[in-house]
Amino acid sequence: MLFYLLMIGFAISAAAPFFYRRFRAFFGWIAVSFPLFLFFSFSSFYPRISAGEVLRETVFWVPSLGINLSFLLDGLSFTFVLIITLVGAAVFLYAGTYMKHYEHAARFFVYIGLFMTSMLGLVLSDNIAAMFVFWELTSISSFLLIGFSHHKEQSRKSAIQALLVTGGGGLALLAGLILLSGISGTMEISELYPQHAMIVSSPLYPAAALLVMIGAFTKSAQFPFHFWLPNAMEAPTPVSAYLHSATMVKAGIYLLARMNHVLGGTALWQDSLLVVGAVTMVCSALLAFNQMDLKKLLAYSTLSVLGTLTMMIGIGSRLAIKAFFIYLIAHSLYKGTLFLVAGTIDHAAGTRDAGVLGGLGRAMPFTMATAILASFSMMGVIPLVGFIGKETLYASILELEEWGRYLIAAAVVANGLLVMITLVAGIRPFFGSMRRLPSVPHEAPFAMLAGPACLAFFGLLAGLFPDFFMGAMLDRLASSVLADTLTFRIKLWHGFNEVLFLSFLTLLCGMLFYAARVKLLPYLEGRHIPPVLKPSSWYDAALAGMLKVARWQTRMLQNGSLRNYITIIVVTAVALGVSALAGSFSAFPEIPALDVTFYEVAIVSIILVSILVLITSSSRLKAVITLGVTGFSIGIIFILYGAPDLALTTFAIETLGVILFVLVLYRLPRFTSYSTTASRVRDAVIAFVFGIFMALMVLFTVSGELDSGLKRYFAGASLPEGKGRNIVNVILVDFRAIDTLGEITVLAVAAIGVFAMLKLALKGGSR
């Protein structure tokens, strides 16, 4: 069932251009049915999941290697599935209108459909290999979507940056997962759970944990891999709302949550997540301080939230997991909304510059209402779900004894900055006086309003009735992450306590930051962080260095001269062969007895003489004839040693070969000598050494007895199974017929190549 849903997803994505061309005018309303279909299909599992059931399903792929498409639907993956499909529905509807003025909009829906399906596959996968495949698919679709406006250089650059960072992290993740399966002997994630104690005590554990963490950190843009996410804002706004705030960047978070019970519980895991998460949370919020672009502001706030989520897993207490869950849902709802609103503003006013925007509220009342609802959730204003998220977050930090004091300060500052960002990006554009804008603002069309408004409204509902909407899922999710059966109650109001005070403090801080920002902005203009301190400049340096090395080695190794290639290949082959043989054979090969007859000596002499004539000849015709003589003599050797079929074929081939040569060569002048004597001597030495080496190889190989089971098999089976007495022919047309089929196909291709080269090109620009 899960497998078929995914396959349907891929099929629908591929079919998107077909529908787009026909129903362009109202495509959003058709597109939205796709995520909604998935949403309701998965929702039908809700009663079973909330009752504590875990659905597993396996489709065999490469069972002998343990690689299967096995899927797992538990509380954790179910939560993600609902977020992906629900936000997806809003985004698809919105994009149907928003993308209309883009070129190749049909392509956009293929990519985003591919992404949604891969993301579902990623969170549903129970098999390490399958999960990795889906993981990479999300990276690739993200690459395609960031670079969607590929005529812009900045888009291409950002797309490649995102691909290299997340793809590189993906490789680290693969290595980590393979180590894990090596330790535990299974590829199924659910089978890793019971082996927790064994995995953690393995000597390979630190390496595996670190590699998995690197994979997650790159995907979820944790410090120092955070820089690709703000640059990814080059993508069309629906992509930023969907991939780069609500879903894809949470894949790393998902992985950490999924692996928490497998790899967690150690100081290495918990402390790394705690520190990296906290650093990301504070630093990225600070980086947003002087940003002016709405989308960049929102991107930095997303980074900060991702850091917070990582930190929650690092703390790992029950309360922290509760905060993780609520914060995750709250963020997906409000951040998706705010991004879409930013897109609407861009659409209506023609700019995303926070310094210019203002007074849009009169022209866009519904958009404003949506934005304010989402902004309140992001700021943590009662009674929205963001408020509960922040309260629980603070409560879980306050539980910590040692670090609690510093962390709570950091969290309040970071959240204060988030409040500031919200004020700048979500509230300010609608108030104040209107300035001159590139275009006259107007209310967004219904299709662009419905999605964000619904998401914002869900934020309100989830805040008002938290236990009804989230209670059961939280219990199931916690049991996936912590492997413990827990029951939580989520309440909106916890009474007047320390946490509530901190919430007020946060809002106060946010307003102070906002006021400070207005004062400080003129001073910050033109000031930048020194490049040495910026991870993005490390990335640039590494990329430039890699390209330099690549160019250097291309110049060295691929200089376009066939002779250099062959010399290198021959010398390397001889050196490797000699060093390998020197170890295994101490003595010179046993020289076989020289039992030869007169005519054998005669034939060999003919071959040797014709070779000599061939390499020294300056006449083409003489060379062709000696080549023919060599071939025919080899044919005679075949006859003498029991291979009449080979001899017949050789004779026929040599005849035709000579005809071919004569057809081409007979009108050309004599050979001109191009090579210098020095190069001829050098080549002769190389050739001589290689010849000796090959002759010795033959002697080494034949010095032992050969007991070929295949020889006996073919001799025995030829007549009964192949119905033929000529064993060579039976092998060719029956036992190994597929080789022959491949071979004649190659011949056919060669004939087409010959034809194309001679006929088609002659019509073109030949002189």
Partner 1 sequence: MYSIILATASRYLLLLLQMFSLFLLFRGHNEPGGGFVGGLVAAAAYALYFIANGIAEAEKLLKVDPFYLIAAGLLLAVSSTMPSLAAGMNVMTGIWFDTGTALFGKVGTPLVFDTGVYFLVLGVTLKIIFSLAEGDLQ
Partner 2 sequence: MTLLLALVIGCLYAAGIFLILRRNMVKVIFGLILLAHAANLLIFTVGRLTKGIPAFVPEGSGMLTGRFADPLPQALILTAIVIGFGVQAFTIVLFKRTWLTLGTEDLDMMKTTDEPPKE
Among positions 183-212, residues that touch partner 2 (CB under 8 A) are none
Would you say 14 or 648 has its CB closer to partner 1? 648
Would you say 238 or 635 has its CB closer to partner 2? 635
Among 601, 602, 621, 666, binds partner 2 (CB under 8 A): 601
Would you say 507 or 696 has its CB closer to partner 2? 696
Among 515, 547, 571, 659, binds partner 1 (CB under 8 A): 659
Would you say 495 or 669 has its CB closer to partner 2? 669
Among 664, 685, 694, 702, binds partner 1 (CB under 8 A): 664
Q: Which residues between 272 and 291 bind partner 1 (CB under 8 A)? A: none
Would you say 456 or 627 has its CB closer to partner 1? 627
DSSP 244: I
CB-based contacts of 721, cutoff 8 Å, min separation 6? 734
SS3 assignment, position 57: strand
Would you say 576 or 656 has its CB closer to partner 1? 656
Among 655, 675, 679, 701, binds partner 1 (CB under 8 A): 655
* # chain residues binding partner 1, by CB under 8 A: 39
DSSP 69: E
**Considering CB distances under 5 to 8 angstroms, the limit depending on partner class, which of partner 1, partner 2, none binds residue 672?**
partner 2
Q: To which residue do tokens 């060093």 refer?
A: 579
Nearest to 223 by CA among 283, 163, 176: 283
Among 657, 666, 678, 738, binds partner 2 (CB under 8 A): 657
Say whether residue 754 binds partner 1 (CB under 8 A).
Answer: yes
| Closest distance to partner 1 from the beta carbon of 672 (Å) | 22
| Closest distance to partner 1 from the beta carbon of 716 (Å) | 16
| Closest distance to partner 2 from the beta carbon of 267 (Å) | 59
Q: Which residues between 547 and 566 bind partner 2 (CB under 8 A)? A: 560-563, 566
Q: Which residues between 712 and 741 bind partner 1 (CB under 8 A)? A: 721-726, 728-730, 732-734, 737-738, 740-741
Say whether residue 767 binds partner 2 (CB under 8 A).
Answer: yes
**Cα angle: 508, vertex 513, 515; to 5 degrees:** 100
**How many angstroms separate the Cα of 363 from the Cα of each of 81, 348, 443?**
36, 10, 6
| Alpha-carbon dihedral angle through residues 623, 625, 627, 631, given to the nearest 10 degrees | 180
CB-based contacts of 95, cutoff 8 Å, min separation 6? 28, 31, 108, 109, 112, 236, 238
> In this structure, which long-range contacts are made by residues 684-693, counting pairs with CB atoms below 8 Å and at least 24 apart in sequence?
686/567, 686/570, 686/571, 689/574, 690/570, 690/573, 690/574, 693/574, 693/577, 693/578
Say whether residue 31 binds partner 2 (CB under 8 A).
Answer: no
Q: How far is CA 289 from the centre of its chain?
A: 32
Task: Give the separation between CA 11 and CA 646, rounded to whole angstroms.
Answer: 52
Q: How far is CA 659 from the centre of its chain?
A: 54
Would you say 57 or 734 has its CB closer to partner 2? 734
CB-based contacts of 537, cutoff 8 Å, min separation 6? 531
**Considering CB distances under 5 to 8 angstroms, the limit depending on partner class, which of partner 1, partner 2, none binds residue 655?**
partner 1
Would you say 44 or 676 has its CB closer to partner 2? 676
**Considering CB distances under 5 to 8 angstroms, the limit depending on partner class, which of partner 1, partner 2, none binds residue 674?**
partner 2
Half-sphere exposure of 258 (CA within 13 A, CB side): 31
Per-residue x/- track, 622-651, partner 1 (CB under 8 A): ----------------------xx--xx--
Among 25, 594, 678, 738, binds partner 2 (CB under 8 A): 594
| Closest distance to partner 1 from the beta carbon of 739 (Å) | 11
* # chain residues binding partner 2, by CB under 8 A: 97
Would you say 101 or 555 has its CB closer to partner 2? 555
Say whether residue 681 binds partner 2 (CB under 8 A).
Answer: no
| Closest distance to partner 2 from the beta carbon of 745 (Å) | 11
User: Residue 108 in contact with residue 13, Cβ under 8 Å?
Assistant: no
Token output for 736 = 């190994």
Nearest to 124 by CA among 219, 38, 229, 225: 38
Q: Which residues between 690 and 749 bind partner 2 (CB under 8 A)? A: 690-692, 694-699, 701-702, 706, 708, 710-711, 714-716, 718-720, 725-728, 731-732, 736, 739-740, 743, 746-747
Helices in 666-704 by DSSP H: which ranges? Answer: 677-702
Task: Give the separation between CA 324 and CA 477, rounded to whole angstroms.
Answer: 10
| Closest distance to partner 2 from the beta carbon of 553 (Å) | 19
Nearest to 457 by CA among 540, 385, 392: 385
522: cis peptide before it, omega within 30°? no
Among 656, 687, 692, 695, binds partner 1 (CB under 8 A): 656
Ramachandran region of residue 560, left (φ > 0), alpha (ψ -120 to 50) or beta? left
For 334-488, strand residue ranges (E) read none
| Closest distance to partner 1 from the beta carbon of 738 (Å) | 6
**Considering CB distances under 5 to 8 angstroms, the limit depending on partner class, which of partner 1, partner 2, none binds residue 133?**
none
| Closest distance to partner 1 from the beta carbon of 765 (Å) | 15
Say whether residue 758 binds partner 2 (CB under 8 A).
Answer: yes
Task: Give the separation between CA 632 and CA 603, rounded to whole angstroms.
Answer: 10
Q: Which residues between 244 and 273 bind partner 1 (CB under 8 A)? A: none
Say whether residue 629 binds partner 2 (CB under 8 A).
Answer: no
Task: Give the separation between CA 142 and CA 147, rounded to whole angstroms.
Answer: 8
User: Residue 119 in contact with residue 256, Cβ under 8 Å?
Assistant: no
Token output for 75 = 């509380």
| Closest distance to partner 1 from the beta carbon of 604 (Å) | 24
Say whether residue 602 binds partner 2 (CB under 8 A).
Answer: no
**Cα angle: 711, vertex 712, 716; to 5 degrees:** 120
Say whether residue 495 binds partner 2 (CB under 8 A).
Answer: no
Nearest to 345 by CA among 367, 365, 362: 367
SS3 assignment, position 127: strand
Would you say 538 or 661 has its CB closer to partner 2? 661
Token output for 215 = 């994979």
| Alpha-carbon dihedral angle through residues 500, 502, 507, 512, given to the nearest 10 degrees | 150
Would you say 359 or 722 has its CB closer to partner 2? 722
Token output for 601 = 């000596």
**Considering CB distances under 5 to 8 angstroms, the limit depending on partner class, which of partner 2, partner 1, none binds residue 741?**
partner 1
Stretch that binds partner 2, among 183-191, 351-359, 486-494, 650-658 (CB under 8 A): 650-658
Among 496, 523, 598, 674, binds partner 2 (CB under 8 A): 674
Nearest to 521 by CA among 289, 299, 294, 352: 289
| Closest distance to partner 2 from the beta carbon of 643 (Å) | 5
Contact positions vs partner 1 (CB under 8 A) = 644-645, 648-649, 652-653, 655-656, 659-660, 663-664, 721-726, 728-730, 732-734, 737-738, 740-741, 744-745, 747-748, 750-751, 754-755, 758-759, 762
